Amino acid sequence: MIRQIIHKEILENLYSFRFILSLVLIIVLFAVSGFVFVGKYRQQSGDYWEKTNENLTGLKEQSRQLYRLAFYKQGVWRKPKALALCAEGFEKSLPNHFVFDVFSSNLPEIKGESNFTLSHFSSIDWVFIISMILSFLALVFTYDSVSGEKEDGTLRQVLANTIPRYKLLLGKYFGVLLTIGIPLFIGLLVNLIIVVASNVAVISGLDWLKILTIVILSLLYLSIFILLGMFVSSRTAHPANSMAILLLIWVVSVILIPSFGRIISEVSGKTPNPAELERKLGEISAEMWGNADKFGERAGYMSGDVNDPGNNPPARGRLRTAETNAMNQAREDYHNKMLAPASVGRNLTCISPTVIYQRISESVAGTGINRCVNLCQQVKEYQASLKEYIRGKDAEDPQSLHLIFPEQSCAQAWQTISRKPVDFGTVPKFQERDLAMGQSLKRAVWDIGLLALFNLVFFVASWVSFMRYDVR
Amino acid sequence: MIWKIAKKEFLLNLMTFRFAVGTMLCMVLMAVFVPILAKAYQERLKTYNQNVSYNEAELHKVTVYQNITPTIYRQPSLLAVFSEGLEKQLGNSATIQYNEVPEINAAAANHYLSIFSIFDASLIFKIVISVLALLVAYDAISGEREQGTLRLVLSNAAARYQVLLGKLLAGLMVLLVPVTMAFILGLVILLCFPMVDLAGSDWIRIGFMSLASLVFIATMYNLGLLFSCLARRSAISLVLGLFLWIIFAVVIPNGSVYLATQILPVQSEDKLNQQMASLQRGIQREFTAELKRSGRSFQGGGSRNDRPGLGGFGRGYVRSCDKVFMENGLIRYSIGVPIEIRYADKRSEAQYGHLRSLFEQTRLADNLSRVSPIFLYENVMSALAGTDMASFRHFIDAVKTHRKDIIEYMRSRTNNFSSSSFFTPCTKEETELPPIDNDAPPLDLRDLPRFSYRADMVESLRRVTPDLALLVFANVLFFAIAFAAFVRYDVR
């Protein structure tokens, strides 16, 4: 019986004006999204390899003298990702450039051909189309599913037969889900064909699995809106009223709440102030140099002449290391202070399924803020491994003082680090690693639970309401 | 007759469920959002005050003219509560330096927060009330046809234009209610905050904002009315209206920015960096040439006693030095500083060339977005709130003028940078004495030019006019088409 109802629902929807309109809109959007992605990805990967090679050439030049490796400011760029097709994760307004040497790293920054005077815009990836447009269409298809039939008088007729109400409800639910599924799948197919045919990005087996996960999650997300539509429709007597309520709910949960995150963090009063960081760094430096003698006699003194008895290399090393460590700490605190409000904002706005859906697709696709944080971590690990490498190589040189501290002029003049050349092949190089699927899924488990919970709540709500619905 | 129809429609609409829900939602959102936005403004104001007082305190510590490098901060705009615009996207400070001309730059703010879109009170108007306008309008004609009442009305002596005008009037009156209520509620809440101090010009701006909101809402209503006259069934007119709404609200603003980046790619930063580097080399070259021409030369040696970080604005200064160092310093600065000032202008020109390509791209994106009334409205609001691009440029221009004043001041005080007071408080006589270790007294800077800035209201009103005119035009256009459609409408 359910199958018959589903069949009828789908057929009815297929012939409707709204279906044709949404089919066209969705396919156009997905096709545009595919072309946009191909163009962007091609350009990004060109830039990425060019800049990465530049960095490696620079590093190679430094390997002629070991100490220069330590002081070379490396610039690492975020690698373009094929799965940004599904969820770009606002990456174009997130830091993409990391500059560091062995001792310290700058705050991550945004570099490249971006125009800061343009207003921020969401890129049209799958998540954008599905979370904004398709969720809206889900409501357009369901707002009259119960109240509309009541107005037409067909609901009475159907229920006069021997169909239990729950079957009718389920039939309608799956009918709409499948109807929405048609433009979604055609759109996805068009999109993927464009991307695969253009041959710019390699989509690996694991990536296909991730894409499948995102598609399933998208259906889960859309199903929330379908159930919501049916719930509101079975609470109201007129489809016009249900449309009004649904639209307002949609506006609040899809547009207003997700943008609420920023203001929450600003109100908390803990917005980090860049001028303050500068001041703090200045204070640290002034304090360390003011108490230079704490680190040993004549730590503040430095003369280019190695044999000058006034020099005290170990003390100098302690001073400079302490200064750099304190500055690194200050920068890291600042960085954490910047990150904290973003995640707090997201957690607090999780009352909107859209936010959950965005977050979950980002973690499956391995993009977004978490990736930036992870990249910072990887840079840090790399710094440590390069330092370890330098320490190891330095130990082999009897002429070096074996004092690895952040002052290039000392290293140059006193040979605190070896000046011997090293084999570039053995120097560790930075390579971005993807987050493991298991790890990203672990992050996503909560969000999947939340999406399922939303589904459950709205399903029960619409079931209860429909059971008591007055069909007259 | 028109008036009668309008009155009847008005009362009918006021009693509808959707109107009640929409208005309630608006009020609730205003009541929730405005205090939060005001609180955020308070925080920004606090940071601004901190920065300004730090700046002032450092100015009193300045011991040498070289260190006069105050930072000018842009006061956060209170009206950003209504329209945020670029307020948090662009830098709100500029440091005055003799060797650098300040330019508009990106805010050093928190990048990670850009995962959230802009949030301000105009969002309520441009999203919630515009949907409400569509909801009020969609069944104005097609709904009445379905109910059969349109036939009855037209069988009387009422002309069609009267019916349509009456509907328009009624719709505007109905929508006036939530718009005015939301504005009044927002303002009342805002005025409850102690730090809020609205000047006369702010009131004028707010007045124009509410006017713009009304015009915008009328546009959306006319759009709904148009679809109502085009479609025979109210469900279809609603679906059409909503589709167009989502295209206006979501697709066009995002799409046009993307299109603009494709059509007019910005000049690459590498090119700018190359230009900058070659200019930097130019400074060196010119310095050497000038040095040769003056017949002076640097001497070897020289010793000094530094006071790192204590000369104001976190900069150090030379507390005392010997004769050789003094002579060298005099040569370096009296010849170098004028060259650096000249090159700062050249660098600024190069940088401006790069910025211009950014501005052009942005202008193209804006022009493409002007198809959407929602964007037009957004533009008008941010210009009125003083948070648009032009306001920032106006501010930076004022800072540039101020920089010139400061340089002129430094020049007059240091005898065209050839006095030692430019880099050290140490006098010629003191170079003979053993090094001094205590701090020097700060300079007397009471007559230093002060920065004062006032946003130009007339100018921002002038900027608003074309967009507002476009909105009015959209109104007329939609209504005219609706009228043309309604004249031929089959009322059966």
Tell me, yes or no, if A262 comes closer than 8 A to chain B by beta carbon.
yes
Residues of B in contact with A117 (CB under 8 A): 86, 90, 104, 358-359, 361-362, 389
A471: left (phi over 0), alpha (psi -120 to 50) or beta: alpha
Task: Provide the shortest C-alpha distance from residue A382 to chain B (in Å).
Answer: 23
Q: Phi then psi for A97, rounded to 5 degrees?
A: -135, 130
Q: A202-234 pLDDT, tens per residue?
A: 888 888 999 999 999 999 999 999 999 999 999
Strands B71-73 and B93-95: antiparallel
Contact criterion met (CB < 8 Å) for B51 and A285: no
Residues of B in contact with A113 (CB under 8 A): 265-266, 268-269
Q: How far is CA B38 from CA A119, B25, B61, in A?
A: 23, 20, 35
Rounded Cα–Cα distance for residues A158 and A169 (Å): 12
> Would you say residue A455 has pLDDT above 90?
yes
Contact criterion met (CB < 8 Å) for B309 and A113: no
Between residues A102 and B435, the one the model is more confident about: A102
Q: For every residue of A1-37, which 3-state class applies, written as one string?
A: CHHHHHHHHHHHHHCCHHHHHHHHHHHHHHHHHHHHH
Residue A113: which pLDDT band, with cuts at 50, 70 and 90?
low
Interface mutation vs chain B, best among A251, A289, A356, A358, most B CBs within 10 Å:
A251
A86, A370 in Cβ contact below 8 A? no
Interface size between A and B, measured as CB pairs under 8 A: 199
The pLDDT score that the predictor gives to residue B398 is 92
Tell me, yes or no, if A376 comes closer than 8 A to chain B by beta carbon.
no
Residue type, B352: Y
Nearest Cα residue to B17 out of A242, A317, A241, A342: A241
Q: Mean per-residue pLDDT for A249-274?
A: 80
Tell me, yes or no, if A271 comes closer than 8 A to chain B by beta carbon.
yes
Tell me, yes or no, if B239 comes closer than 8 A to chain A by beta carbon.
yes
Interface mutation vs chain A, best among B26, B37, B112, B195, most A CBs within 10 Å:
B112
- The reported pTM is 0.87
Tell me, yes or no, if B135 comes closer than 8 A to chain A by beta carbon.
yes
Residues of B in contact with A122 (CB under 8 A): 117, 254
Q: List, in order, residues 6 or more apart from A185 with CB less than 8 Å away.
A: none
Pair of tokens at residue B205: 């701006």
Q: A25-83 pLDDT, tens per residue?
A: 999 999 999 998 998 899 889 989 999 999 999 999 988 888 888 899 999 998 888 88
Residue of chain B minimizing CA distance to A370: B112
Question: What's the whole-number average pLDDT of chain A?
Answer: 88
Residue of chain A minimizing CA distance to B16: A241
Contact criterion met (CB < 8 Å) for B22 and A244: yes
Tell me, yes or no, if A39 comes closer than 8 A to chain B by beta carbon.
yes
Q: Mean per-residue pLDDT for A272-284?
A: 82
B191-204 burial by CB neighbour count: b if 16+ within 10 A, else e? eebeebeeeeebee
Residue A269: which pLDDT band, with cuts at 50, 70 and 90?
low
Residues of A in contact with B383 (CB under 8 A): none
Rounded Cα–Cα distance for residues B396 and B387 (Å): 13
Contact criterion met (CB < 8 Å) for B266 and A115: yes
Tell me, yes or no, if B361 comes closer than 8 A to chain A by beta carbon.
yes
Contact criterion met (CB < 8 Å) for A252 and B25: yes
* Residue in B25, B44, B51 closest to A275 by CB: B51
Residues of B in contact with A278 (CB under 8 A): 314
The pLDDT score that the predictor gives to residue A339 is 86
Contact criterion met (CB < 8 Å) for B362 and A117: yes
Residues of A in contact with B25 (CB under 8 A): 248, 252
Q: How far is CA A173 from CA A2, A386, A408, A455, B462, in A?
A: 10, 58, 69, 12, 54
Residues of A in contact with B51 (CB under 8 A): 273, 275
Residue A350: which pLDDT band, with cuts at 50, 70 and 90?
confident
Tell me, yes or no, if B43 comes closer than 8 A to chain A by beta carbon.
yes
Pair of tokens at residue B224: 């709904």
The pLDDT score that the predictor gives to residue B99 is 87
Task: Provide the shortest C-alpha distance from residue A289 to chain B (in Å).
Answer: 9
Tell me, yes or no, if B29 comes closer than 8 A to chain A by beta carbon.
yes
Task: Provide the shortest C-alpha distance from residue A94 to chain B (in Å).
Answer: 6
Residue of chain A minimizing CA distance to B21: A245
Rounded Cα–Cα distance for residues B221 and B236 (Å): 16
Interface mutation vs chain A, best among B115, B264, B354, most A CBs within 10 Å:
B115
The pLDDT score that the predictor gives to residue B218 is 94
Q: A367-405 pLDDT, tens per residue?
A: 888 888 889 999 999 999 999 999 998 888 888 888 888
B291, B406 in Cβ contact below 8 A? no
Rounded Cα–Cα distance for residues A300 and A278 (Å): 22
Tell me, yes or no, if A183 comes closer than 8 A to chain B by beta carbon.
no
Tell me, yes or no, if A133 comes closer than 8 A to chain B by beta carbon.
yes
Contact criterion met (CB < 8 Å) for B37 and A263: yes
User: pLDDT tens per residue, chain B (492 residues)?
Assistant: 788 888 988 998 888 888 898 899 999 999 988 998 898 888 889 889 988 998 888 888 888 888 888 889 998 888 888 988 888 888 888 888 888 888 888 776 777 887 788 788 888 888 888 989 998 898 888 888 888 888 888 888 888 888 899 999 999 999 999 999 999 999 999 999 888 888 888 899 999 999 999 999 999 999 999 999 998 888 888 888 988 998 898 888 888 888 888 888 887 778 888 988 998 898 899 999 988 988 888 887 777 777 777 777 878 788 888 888 888 888 888 888 999 999 999 999 998 888 898 899 999 999 999 999 999 999 999 999 988 888 899 999 999 999 999 999 999 988 888 888 888 888 887 777 777 777 778 888 888 888 888 888 888 889 999 999 999 999 999 999 999 999 888 887
ipTM reported for the complex surpasses 0.90: no
